[in-house]
Structure 1
């Protein structure tokens, strides 16, 4: 069978060229492209690792800043409360001083007003006694027809007013 004897000759050249093509592809891809792909993958992995390390450092710094910020906030809050307490104490002291001053001024005004009232009352009572003495002298003159002096009428009015 001649076809079977030609198979080896026909396929032998095809196997030869197949091996040459696969060899070229292997060396082209394996030694030409693969190192470039591996280098870009290594660079990407290195970049990711560096970014992760930078993110970890940034997180640690943020944690430190957060802790120091919280401490600073606590210190600031304490200082603010101390200043607020001092301001409240000063305001209360100032208010007490102003209140004491106002009380003293009012006491002086009340005392002066009471003195003026006492003078006005005494003056009014004196005026009442004088009017009462004049009225008593006029009444005695009209009722009994006798003449009473102003001194006698004033003495009689004082005696009646003192006994109530």
Structure 2
């Protein structure tokens, strides 16, 4: 094999180095700047995306904190509104109960007055019946009619005891 002969080895090696150098520097010289630019552009884009993502996350966290604060405020406001509504309902109910109590007291007073009138009328009637009965009994037993005022005072004394 001619390529392994010692006399041909040095010229082949020189040509190998020359061709390798031309190809290496030709390819590397042409592609290395493009590759470098692409890597730098990619790095800038990744860093920009990371920065944008961090900024978006910070903004999202701020919005979330604001949302949580608003929700907490809304919960507090809802509790206050419910408590106010409860107080209003209690006041309204107490007012209705007071009005109903007043109406019931008025009806009770009216009924009590009616009962007192009926009682007085009944007692008057009982007294009148008792006076008549006593007068008739005394008249039958004694033969004479007693004085109405005397019978009436005797009946009142008997009824009071």
- Tell me the TM-score normalised to structure 2 length: 0.71
| Backbone CA RMSD of aligned residues | 3.4
Q: Which of 102, 105, 123 pairs up with 1:104?
A: 102
Gaps of 5+ in 2: none
Count of matched residue positions in the alignment of Structure 1 and Structure 2: 157
Q: Residue by residue, what CA displacement relative to the aligned partner does 1:111-159 show, whole Å, maximum 9, x if unpaired?
A: 10110010111122123223333444565567x3746569479513223
Larger RCO (alpha carbons 8 Å, 6+ apart): 1
The answer to whether the aligner puts 1:45 opposite 2:43 as a matched pair is yes
Task: Deviation per CA, 1:7-65: give whole Å up to 9, x if none.
Answer: 12x11332133123312430343123333332322222111100111122112323433
TM-score normalised by structure 1 residue count: 0.70
> Match of 2:56?
58
Unaligned runs of 5+ in 1: 1-5
* Residue matched to 1:3: none
Aligned to 2:34: 36
